[in-house]
Amino acid sequence: MAQAEMIVEQDYPWVWASHNKFKLLSGNEIPAIGLGTWKAGDAAGDVVFNAIVQDGYRHVDTAQQYAVQEEVGYGLRAAMDAGIERRDIFVTSKLWCTDMSPERVRPAFNRTLNELQLDYLDLYMIHWPFRLRDGASRPPKPGDVLDVDMKAVWKEMEKLVADKVVREIGICNFTVKKLESLLSYATIMPSVCQVEMHPGWRNDKILNTCRKYNIHVTAYSPLGSQGSQTRDLINDETVKMVAKRVSKTPGQVLIKWALQRGTSTIPKSTNPERIKENIEVFGWDLPELEFNALSSLPDQRRELDGAELFVCPEEPYKSVEELWDYE
C-alpha cells in the first residue's frame, strides 16, 4: 500500500469470520493465529501439544521440509487424545520443491499424512513455485533447479480436494506474475497465499493482488528474523515505542499489526512464555497512529529471499532480482 491503511470490516467483509478466525473463499475458516514449527526440532511434539491444550492454539503450520512432521504428528495425536476434536484443529503442510512434478504430488502428500497421523489436511500448499533436483546443494549447482510444469502440479493439488483428503489448497512465496498465471488455468482457486510479511517487508504488491481475488494471506516471519545478517524487529526502536504506548510486548504489537491488515499469521517459537504471549492479541487494537508508525518503517527488504535455495551463476535464476521478477 502506498499509504498505510487500517483494515475495517465494512471495507473488507471477507476478513473476519469471528473474533479470531478469517473466512476463506470456500466458506471454511482459518484461525487468525497459528503455531509455526520451522526449526522446532525434537521439541516440536511437546510444543504442539502444549500450544493446543494449554494455550488454545487451533492452527498448526508445518512442512515436509521442516523435518519435524513426525514430532508434530505425535503432538497432534496427544492433543486429540486429551480431548481436543480433530475438526477443531486447522493443520497446514506444504509440498516441497523436490516433489514439484505431477507424479510426485500424491506420494509426497501421503507421506505427510502418515507422518502427521491424520487422514486429511485442512490446507496443503505449494511451498515454493520452483522445482529442485533430489539432493540439490545450497546454494544450487548448475542443473539443481529444474523446469516445473505448474499447471500439471496444480491439477494434482486439485485432485486432493476432489478426493476429500484436503479441504483447501494454497501457495507460498509466489510473485504476482506467478499467481496470476496460476489463476488463468486453476479450476480450484488457491484459498491461501502464504508469504513473508512484517513491518520491515510489507509486501504490499502481493497483498493487494490477493485482496483483488479474495485470496486470504497468511504472513510468515511476522516478527522478522533474528541474527547478525537479519532484521530483528523485536528490538526495532519504532516497534518498542509502539509497544510501550499500548502496554504490550513488541511481539504482540507485530502480530496485531498483521491481523489488522487482514492477514492471519504463524509466529514460531519453542519458548512456552513466548507461545502464550503470541496468542494473547485479541480484545484490543492498535490505534491508527501506532498502526501507521509500524506501517512506515524504512529499508523495506525480504529476510528470506530464497537465494540459498534457487540462485546460482547459471540459468535459470542468476540473481534474487530474477527470482522474484522485480520490475
Q: Could you list the mean pLDDT of each consecutive 10-residue stretch along the chain, which spans 327 residues?
A: 38 48 95 94 93 96 96 97 97 98 98 98 98 95 96 98 98 97 98 97 96 97 70 92 98 97 94 94 95 95 93 90 81
124: helix, strand or coil: strand
Which positions are annotated as active-site residues? 66
Q: In this predicted structure, what is the pLDDT of residue 14?
A: 38
Q: Which residues of 194-210 are buried (b: 16+ CB within 10 A; e: fewer)?
A: bbbbbbbbbbeebbebb
Residue 6 has what pLDDT? 42
Facing residues of 195 across strands? 219
Q: All 3 cell numbers of residue 294?
A: 509500524
Question: Domains of the chain: which residue ranges?
Answer: 16-323
Q: Note the pLDDT of residue 4.
A: 38
Query: Is the Cα torsion angle 295, 301, 304, 306 positive or negative in sign?
Result: positive
CATH topology classification for 16-323: TIM Barrel (3.20.20)
Asked if 197 and 174 touch (Cβ cutoff 8 Å), the reply is no
Report the pLDDT value the prediction gives residue 13, as an integer from 0 to 100: 36
Q: What is the pTM of this model?
A: 0.92
pLDDT score recorded for residue 226: 54
Closest CA to 268 of 31, 33, 7, 27: 33
What pLDDT, on the 0 to 100 scale, is given for residue 2? 33
- pLDDT value at residue 229: 55
Structural contact between residues 35 and 63, judged by C-beta atoms closer than 8 angstroms = no
Contact 39, 66 (CB under 8 A): yes
Give dist(CA 315, CA 327) in Å, integer. 19
Q: Grid cell 500439471 — which residue?
A: 152
